[in-house]
Amino acid sequence: MTRRLSMILLFAALAIQAHAQAVPFVTIQRTAESLALGGAHVAGPWNLPLEANVFEAGIGKTYWQKSAINYNLTNVDARVRVLDNLSVGLLFTYNNMEETTLYSSSGQPLGTTQPTELYAGLTASYAPVEKLALNLSGKYIHSALTDHNTAGAPAFDIGAIWRVGRSVSLGVLGENLGPAISYGYGSYPLPATIKTGYYGLFNIAQKHAIETAADLGAMPAYSAALASLGAGYIYNRTVALRFGAHICTRGDILPTYASAGLFVTTPEFDIGAAYLTASNTFSISARLKL
C-alpha cells in the first residue's frame, strides 16, 4: 500500500512538472525546422510523399525547456518511396527525463528513479490525385515512471494537404488520437490536437525565396487553443533563416515562445539548429537524402 501510494504521489508530481497532462512529450515537434517556424508544420512539404528522393533518414536532439522540465528528446525517422505517389516509413522518439526522488506517504525518501518515455510507429503519405496528399501515422506510446509503474497506449495521426497552386498548400491534421493512457490507478487522456494549417514558398528573385507557415488548433481534452506562425528567408535554395512564434491559451499545457533557426540544405543532406525562448529550448537535426 505504501509503495502504491508513493507511485500515485510521484505521478501527481510529474504531471504538475510536465504541464499537467499525460505524456506531454508527444506534443513536441520532432524537427528543428518545424520548431524554428513556431511549431507550424501541418501543411508543410515534409508531410508530402517523397518526389525528388527515393530514401530519406533523419536524426535529431531536442533539449526541451532546460531551465524547467528539462526533457532530453532523441528523434529518429526514415522514409522510402515505394511508388511515385506513396511513401512509407518508421518513426521513433525517446524521452530521457531527469532523475526523481521517491518518497513514502510519511515523507521518507525511498530512493530515486529516472522516468523514461518513448513512442515508435509507422507512417505513410499517399497522393491519390495530383493536388491532394493524405497522411497516416500509427504509433505506440510507452511511459515508465518507475520500474514498477508503467503505461502504454496506441495513438494515430491523420491528415490531408491540398496544394492550391505551385506555391501554397492548405492542410488539416489530427494528432495523438487514441484512448486514454492508464497507470493502473486512473486514466489520463492523450493530448489529442486538431489543427488546420497553411504553408507558402515564394521565389522573389533568382536566388531568393520567402517561406511562410501558420497553424491554428485546439486540444479539446485540456480546453486549450493553439496557434503557430513562422517565416523564413532562403538563399540559393541552400541557406535558410527561420523565425516563428507559438501561442497557447494554457501555459501549463504548452508554453508560449518565440523561435529562430539556421539551416543548410543540399541535394544530399539537410542540417540545422533552432533556439526557443521556452525556458531555454535547443534543437538540432540532420537528414540524409538519396
Three-class SS of residue 101?
strand
Cα–Cα distance measured from residue 55 to residue 34, given in angstroms and rounded to the nearest whole number: 20
Cα–Cα distance measured from residue 105 to residue 107, given in angstroms and rounded to the nearest whole number: 5
Whether pTM exceeds 0.75: yes
Domains of the chain are 2-99+115-289 (2.40.160.60)
170 closest CA partner among 218, 216, 203: 216
| Distances from the Cα of 43 to the Cα of 51, 200, 210, 259, angstroms | 16, 9, 16, 19
Specify the residue for cell string 511508388. Answer: 83
Cα–Cα distance measured from residue 68 to residue 125, given in angstroms and rounded to the nearest whole number: 36
**Residue-wise DSSP of 17-66:** HTTTSSSGGGGS-SSHHHHHTTT--TTSGGGSPPSS-SEEEEEEEEEETT
Predicted pLDDT of residue 111: 66
Task: Please state the φ and ψ torsions of residue 47, each to the nearest 5 degrees.
Answer: -95, 5
C-alpha cell at 63: 533539449
Cα–Cα distance measured from residue 34 to residue 245, given in angstroms and rounded to the nearest whole number: 11
Burial of 66 by CB count in 10 Å (0-12 exposed, 13-18 middle, 19+ buried)? middle
**Residue-wise DSSP of 120-154:** EEEEEEEEEETTEEEEEEEEEEEEEEETTEEEEEE
User: CA 53, 210, 55 angle in degrees (round to 5)?
Assistant: 10
C-alpha cell at 51: 518526389
User: CA 251, 257, 260 angle in degrees (round to 5)?
Assistant: 160
Instruction: Count CB neighbours of 49 within 10 A.
Output: 20
Cα–Cα distance measured from residue 281 to residue 63, given in angstroms and rounded to the nearest whole number: 6
Residue 201 near residue 211 (C-beta atoms within 8 A): yes
Q: Give 208's Cβ-side CA count (13 Å radius).
A: 2
Cα–Cα distance measured from residue 29 to residue 215, given in angstroms and rounded to the nearest whole number: 13
- pLDDT tens for the chain, residues 1 to 290: 444 444 444 444 444 344 357 899 999 999 999 999 999 999 999 889 999 899 999 999 999 999 988 899 999 999 999 999 999 999 999 998 877 766 666 666 666 777 889 999 999 999 999 999 999 999 999 988 776 678 899 999 999 999 998 899 999 999 999 999 887 777 789 999 999 999 999 999 889 999 999 999 999 999 999 999 999 999 999 999 999 999 999 988 899 999 999 999 999 999 999 999 999 999 999 999 99
Beta bridge partners of 282: 63, 275
